[in-house]
Structures are given as C-alpha cells and as structure tokens.
Structure 1
C-alpha cells in the first residue's frame, strides 16, 4: 500500500527554516489510519515546549471514515518524541528572539512508524516572501526554457 507524505508548504513560505529534526509522534489507532489516507492539515499548527516535552498543537487529523464510537478527536495536542539531548538543543535555540518550531511534514519511515519532521524557523518579512517567490518563478522559467 502506497502511503502519502504530507508537507507543510506554508511553513517554507512563512519562515526561514534553519534546523530540522525527525520526531516520533504519539497517536491513536484511528489517527494512524487517517494519516495513511492522507487526511492531515497543517493550518495554524505549531510546536511548543512545555515541562521539557515537545507538543504539536493545531495539527488536524480528520476522523477515520470507518471509525466507530472510539474515533479520535480531530484537533488536540499530540506529544512528540525526541531524545533529551535534542530537546535541550531546541530549548537553547528557542531562547533567541523570533524563532518558532513548526511541523514541516508527516510521513511513515521504513519501519512503518509515523514521524513528524519539525524545523526551527525565523519569521520572514513581506519583502523576504516576495524575494522567495521571484526566485521560484525564475527557476521555473529557466527549467521551462531548458526543456
């Protein structure tokens, strides 16, 4: 069965992503089935550190279509699993002003475990966003011209 990889494209538009980590995520059974169907939305999702634990907030995973009364809640805080050493690095980076932790993609690894790629990003200004769009347009035009 081919599984989909869900990317958070708006994170790359809104932030300069400087560091990336891959974290496990604590999920319920019906959440895993919904992710396999590709029913994930990153709108307004972000990560936060609370009591030396990393949580993802606002990640929408649609209810499983074949779920029973034991179906999961679509939006709730989900714990991310990282090593203490990685959490300390993230905590030290977050002390700098203007940085935030955003989920970049949800995927299944080789062992069929659900993983979340998170990144530490610095917010872009409006002129930075315009510059990024111009670069993408010119690269697209060059590729089109070379074909």
Structure 2
C-alpha cells in the first residue's frame, strides 16, 4: 500500500487566478470511481487545462487529468474522462443563464476534501483577463512581496 495517501488534500489551480477574474464561486461534488479518489489523495491531479460545460442541464468537467492509480488493476480509470459535477438545480439554472453572456466560462479553482472526507471541487464563473490585466496582477504581486520583505 502506498504511504503517500492523505486523508485531507487541497490541490489548487494556481494559474487560474492569473488567467481569469472570478465573478462567482461554487462548491460542487464530483462523481468519481474508487481508483480516481485514491489518485487524488496521492495528489496526482492536473487542473491546468480543465474547464466545465453544461450538457443537457448537467454540469461536467472536461480535461481534468487524474493519473491512473499505481496499485490499480484492470479496473483503473481513464485519466481524461468527463466527470459529472453535482450542484443544485437552482445553481445550474443560474450558471446556465450567466454563461449566455459573452466571454464567461466555468473553471475549476481547487479540489479539496470535505469534513466527511469526500472530494469536492471549487469552481468559479470567470472572465478571461487581457494582457494588460495580467501585467497589473504581476505588478501587484511584486509590490506585495517587497512590502512583506521590508516588514521582516
């Protein structure tokens, strides 16, 4: 049995904050198989290219790469399959109406464990940043880093 399996996990998409403005955040459950949750607990997840889409009134996440579990047998999962996200009907209708606006998308921010030990995903309704917005973000981060250095 691998020693790196953690009960609590928090895997963040650090690039998302640089690429997008977050308008609204939601917490959703995920429909996973047994080997997928074991790989997530090992931290073998890539959120970089993942995005969410609505199909037939249900929300799915696409391009979320969960590496195959090393101890898995022929029951191992497909790394890039579409996974269903669990939200209330009210939240799904709200997201559907907001997605009709041009330039908005739904992206995953982080995967974490709930108090019960279930895998949850935090998603955000987001608008893409322009190049000058990214430069402002870099400038703000550098200024904050300098002030933190001077305070110590």
Task: Identify the TM-score tier after normalising by the shorter chain.
Answer: over 0.9
Match of residue 118, structure 2, among 84, 99, 113: 113
Aligned to 2:83: 78
Provide, for residues 33-86 of structure 1, a one-character-per-residue CA deviation record: whole Å limited to 9, x for no partner: 000000000121100011100000000000001111111111110000000001
Match of residue 144, structure 2, among 139, 143, 146: 139
Aligned to 1:9: 14
Could you tell me how far 1:3 is from its partner in structure 2? 2.8
Aligned to 2:64: 59
Could you tell me how far 1:2 is from its partner in structure 2? 4.8
- Partners of 2:135 and 2:71 in 1: how far apart? 43
Match of residue 93, structure 1, among 98, 113, 116: 98
Moved more, 23-32 or 91-100: 91-100
CA contact (8 A) 2:21 2:129 kept: yes
Gaps of 5+ in 2: 1-5
Match of residue 37, structure 2, among 32, 35, 39: 32
Aligned to 2:3: none
Structure 1 moving runs of 4+ over 3 Å: none
- Partners of 1:82 and 1:4 in 2: how far apart? 21
Q: TM-score, normalised by structure 2?
A: 0.94
